[in-house]
Amino acid sequence: MQVTPLDLDGARTVITGAGGHIGQALTRIFAEAGARVIACDVAGADLTAPGITERHHFDLRDPDAVVAAADAITAGGAPQIVISNAGWTRADTMDEVTQDIIPDEMDRNFTGAARLTRALLPGMRDLPGNRAFVFVASVNGLTHHGNPPYSAAKAALLAWMRAIAVEEGRYGIRANAVAPASVRTHAWDYRLERDPSVIERVSKLYPLGRLVTPDEVARSALFLASPMASGITGSTLAVDAGLMAGNLPFLDILR
């Protein structure tokens, strides 16, 4: 059978945060593309979706757990693809940031991802064929849209992605990122509790007039992870309904 560029052809693919909304979309879409999905998330997360071939429960904030998980994953062979998706945020404004929130959000959104990708990286260097990291970052890592510690962590994640792209390119390993804007996931639930109209109001900020979906994020990650993107490394793809292209409310005011 001829392998198409988006056919991952059994590639061992690690997906962190696999139990969340975006993670579930990633798991399904990568499995449909032929990946052997290695789903990772914290204890208690639902990792029962069809297409998952391995499951690992651990907390990215725990360095020892990350090392143990990397050992367990590579016991079955080094992965060809790593999708670093796990993340979390809560503090919307600087006034809501407490001293304990800063390291917690850095661990959830950057440090844990860096530890895991660093642990998995050596085994990928000698593998043949397509090998890729895709980091699920955020437009917050590009410009500020609130959530200060989260924004700082996602900016660090993008810097880490570029470091891998530059230093590991000699081995044929690629690294890229997707930077979603607002995605309708459980992360919005607490905002909806405070203001049921928040999604309707925030949608007006986007040129497409809506939030992006988990599937749109997952399909973008699939492209970057696949041989179709063989010449792309060190890049960040905004999946943002046009948010980074310009300020639509500003133009509306000038009309």
Distances (CA, A) of 76 to 5, 38, 54, 57, 127: 25, 10, 10, 16, 14
Q: Are 23 and 38 within 8 A, CB to CB?
A: no
Q: Which of 82-91, 154-163, 185-194 has the lowest mean pLDDT?
A: 185-194
Residue 2 lies in a domain: no
Residue 196 lies in a domain: no
pLDDT above 90 covers what percent of the chain? 80
Residue 17 lies in a domain: yes
Residue 247 lies in a domain: no
- The verdict on whether 190 is a catalytic residue reads no
Catalytically annotated residue among 154, 171, 190, 204: 154
**Tokens representing residue 85 in the block:** 């998706």
Residue 199 lies in a domain: no
What is the pLDDT, as a whole number, of residue 191?
Answer: 81
Residue 40 lies in a domain: yes
- The verdict on whether 204 is a catalytic residue reads no
Instruction: Give the CATH number for residue 63.
Output: 3.40.50.720
Task: Tell me the pLDDT tens digit for each residue of 43-81.
Answer: 888 899 889 999 999 999 999 999 999 999 999 999 999
Report the 10 Å Cβ neighbour count for 205: 16
More confident of the two residues 112 and 185:
112
Residue 193 lies in a domain: no
- pLDDT class for 5, splitting at 50, 70, 90? low
How many domains does the chain contain in total?
1
**Average pLDDT, stretch 192-199?**
90
Task: Tell me the pLDDT tens digit for each residue of 213-228.
Answer: 999 999 999 999 999 9
Residue 140 lies in a domain: yes
Q: Are 10 and 76 within 8 A, CB to CB?
A: no
Q: Whole domain around residue 86: which residue ranges?
A: 12-186+213-241
Catalytically annotated residue among 150, 171, 190, 204: 150
- pLDDT class for 3, splitting at 50, 70, 90? very low
Exposed/middle/buried for residue 1 (C-beta within 10 Å: 0-12, 13-18, 19+): exposed
**Average pLDDT, stretch 146-164?**
97
- pLDDT class for 189, splitting at 50, 70, 90? confident
